[in-house]
Structure 1
Amino acid sequence: AKDHFSEFKERVFAVAFTDSVHSMSLQKVPKKVIEFLQKAGRNWVAHDEPLDTPVKAPANEITRVSAGHIQHEMTSWSCMESLFTFLQERYAFISGDKEEL
C-alpha cells in the first residue's frame, strides 16, 4: 500500500484484522494510506466489551472494536459474523449499492 497506493486503492475495498498488533506510526505509513485504511479497515480486538463495541485506538490507527472475547486465539471465531457483515457493507458501498457508514 505504501509503495503502490493508487493500485492498492483500486483493488482493495476493505481490510479486516482480528486482534492485530500492527502500528502504522512505527511503520511510517503515509497519511493517504492511513486515511484510506481508517475508512476501509477495522480491527476486532480482544476485549471484555460486547462484540462491535468501539475500543479506543491510538491516533492514526484503524478503527478498533471489541471482538467480544478476551482471549486472542478466540477473536477470529468470535467476530466472524460481524467481520463478514463489515466486508459485505464495504463491498456494497464501493459498488454504489449503499451509503458509507
Structure 2
Amino acid sequence: MPDKAATMPYWPRLMSVELAALYLGIGTTTLSQDGPVPKRKGRRILYDIQDLDRWADALDGQPLDEGQKKDEGTDMLARVRERIARGSD
C-alpha cells in the first residue's frame, strides 16, 4: 500500500481502513480500536479525513474549538454505543 499512497496527488475525503491508518501513520488495529468512528457504506468501512485530522489533533492536547469539541464528544459517544452493542468493554 505505501506505493499507492506515494503516487496519490491528494488524500481522498473518505478512506479505507488501510489507507486511513497509513495517513495517520498507525496500524489498522490501533485505528479500529482507538480511532474516530468510521462511516459505513454497505459493508465498506470508511474514515472521513476531517474526522482523522480532528482525532489526531486531540492526541497531543491541541486546543479544539467549540465545534470540534462537540464533534469529538459525539464521536466518543458513538464509539461507546458501538462497543456496547458488540458486547465488548
Alignment TM class, shorter chain as reference = 0.3 to 0.5
Q: TM-score, normalised by structure 1?
A: 0.30
Instruction: Indicate the structure with greater helix content.
Output: 2
